[in-house]
Every structure is written in structure tokens, then in C-alpha cells.
Amino acid sequence: MRTLRIPRRSPADPGAPALTIHAPAKLNLTLDVLGKRPDGFHELESLMVTVGWYDTLTFAPAERFELSVTGAAGVPCDERNLVARAATALAHAAGREPAAAVTLHKRIPHEAGLGGGSSDAAAALLGLNELWDCGLSREELRDLGATIGSDVPFFLCGSPAGVVRGRGERVEPVDPGPPRWAALAKPPIGLSTAAVFAAWGGRESARATEQALQVYGTAGGALCAATANDLDGPATELEPALAAEQAAFAAAGLVRSCLSGSGTSRFALCRSAAAARSAAAALRRLRPGPVAAVPLAV
């Protein structure tokens, strides 16, 4: 299992170091929005991969639930945080109190379309399932994860790449494929996921996932050309400043760039780690906000 690494720890040994999990961000290499469903969510098809940009969580025994967050200002520690929601949901499913000391070190930007909160929630389900010795199966954790957020099941699928369908709860793991890198940038503007989906307004899908899957296992530039996101246009209509991000990527030599999820992060696949690093350096000069050169499907 490569998506989340869990060192085993004996609950009988209180002196053992806290259980630590590195929770990766994700990119949507494609995002097809196929229609609005009666439940208000949207039917999706998306090729998702983890990327080498991580939050870090630790889990230790405690008398009550305590969540502390470092690395980012203004991140809530109560039930607005998906980690707290995951703890409550798992404790409820296991018929126990949610007693644990959890630390969350944030590095993944939020309102970025990078799935940081969802990955944290998935890590919390995995970590607390271990700490509390609940014995829930991967499938049971995935079902629980789907009640917390649409992106959570992907992070519990056991593979760093997958095709996601439905509202996000149906995940088909995909082989990680050849080594790949992306340049990734988050502008200092955020957008609400719900607002971006509402702005989509029923337009026709580019249906890029099928095409991307056909070339996903191959090296070379075909996958880069297949990246597409049906929410790119709606997000830019809501926040016209996002057009400058696309222009900055083009100025950095990255003609094909793509929004991740509902934004506001943008990425472009690069032909090597060195190319990703040099594109990231150019993006840092051209625009404000965090930039990273990241490996895919880690």
C-alpha cells in the first residue's frame, strides 16, 4: 500500500512513538462532470493521482479527543475539520469514545483542489482504526470516508492512482504507471467547491478520462495533452483572476495546464523532475502563491 504509509505500533506499549501518517495531496489529471444528480451532487469521472506534497498526522492515546494543528493559521480544530469528523464517525461505527491526541501539520494549501482535508480525513480513519484496534476493513473505511467527503474514498483505495466515478465514492485503482512530475501552483485566491459546481451549469463534458486512461501507462507527452477539467471554465468565470494563472503557465513554457478539482490550483505535467523544478522556479517569479515541483502517483 503506497498511498499512506503506516508504521505499525503496539497499543500495549505506551512509550512507543506516536503513530505517524504522511497524507498526500492529489491532482485530478482529468475531471469530467457528466450531470447533476437528484441528490444535488454531480456525477463525475476523474483520473486521480496522489502527489508528493504532504500533511503529516500523528495519533497517540489520550483520555479525550484533542486535535492540534500546526503549519497553517486559521485551521479549525473542531468538527469543521474533517479529521475531527473522521474521528467521530469511526468512534461511532466502532461503538467507542473518540479518545485520542491527534496532531495535524498542514503543508497542503486549502481551497486548492488538492484534496488536503480529504486526505487528512482518510489518514485519520486509517490511523485511528489502528490506534483503537477497531479492525474495520479497507472497504468499511472507504464507505465511512464517503460520508465525510467526496474525495475521501480515493485516498483509501490502496493505490496512488485511480479512476473515480459517481460523486467520488466509486474508485477503481489504476497501476501507478511510469515516473511522472508536475509543476503545481496555488494562487492566493480560494473558491468554494459548491460554487464552482453550481457555475458549471450543465455544459457538455470534454470526456477526457477515457482518452487519458488509454495513454496513462505510456511514457511521453500523450498524457499531458489528455489532461482536462470541465470545471476550469466555470472556475475562471467565477474568478477571472485565474486567467492570469493560465497565462503564467504559458509564459513558463507550459502551454497545456489544467485546474485541479474545483481549483484554484493549476498544474502542468513536465517531462522530467528537472523540467518540473525549472518550470516551478519560473512560476515563482511570474506569480504570487505557493509553487511546487511534485512527483505523481507516489
List residues binding ligand C5P (CB under 6 A).
Answer: 41-42, 44, 149-151, 167-168, 193-194, 197
Distance (Å, whole) CA 262 – CA 228:
12
CB 81 → ligand C5P: shortest distance, Å? 13
Please, is 57 exposed, middle or buried when counting C-beta atoms within 10 Å of its C-beta (0-12, 13-18, 19+)? buried
The gap between the terminal CA atoms of the chain, to the nearest Å, is 11
- How buried is 38 (Cβ within 10 angstroms: 0-12 exposed, 13-18 middle, 19+ buried)? exposed
Closest CA to 229 of 45, 40, 53, 52: 45
Of 192 and 272, the one with the shorter C-beta distance to ligand C5P is 192
Which distant-in-sequence residues (6+ apart) come within 8 Å of 135 by Cβ? 129
By C-beta, is 98 or 117 nearer to ligand C5P? 117
Taking the complex as a whole, how short is the minimal distance between the CB of residue 60 and ligand C5P, in angstroms?
A: 28
Nearer to ligand C5P, 127 or 149 (CB): 149
Residue type, 269: L
Q: Write b or e for each residue in 278-297: b if 16 or more Cβ atoms lie within 10 A of its Cβ, otherwise e.
A: bbbebbbebbebbbbbbbbb
Task: Show the cell assigned to 288.
Answer: 504570487
Does a cis peptide bond (omega within 30 degrees of 0) precede residue 264? Answer: yes
What minimum distance in Å lies between the beta carbon of 108 and ligand C5P? 15
Q: Which of 25, 155, 182 is nearest to 86 (CA)?
A: 155
Which among 151, 186, 230, 232 is annotated as catalytic?
A: 151
What is the radius of gyration, based on Cα positions, of the chain? 19
One-letter amino acid for residue 58 of the chain: T
Question: Minimal distance in Å, beta carbon 186 to ligand C5P?
Answer: 18
Least Å from the CB of residue 190 to ligand C5P: 13
Nearer to ligand C5P, 24 or 168 (CB): 168
The reply to whether 151 belongs to the active site is: yes
Q: Among residues 26, 32, 106, 186, which one is catalytic?
A: 26
Question: At its nearest, how many Å lie between ligand C5P and the CB of residue 42?
Answer: 4
| CB nearer to ligand C5P: pick between 75 and 252 | 75
Indicate the residue among 130 and 151 with the shorter CB distance to ligand C5P.
Answer: 151
Which positions are annotated as active-site residues? 26, 151
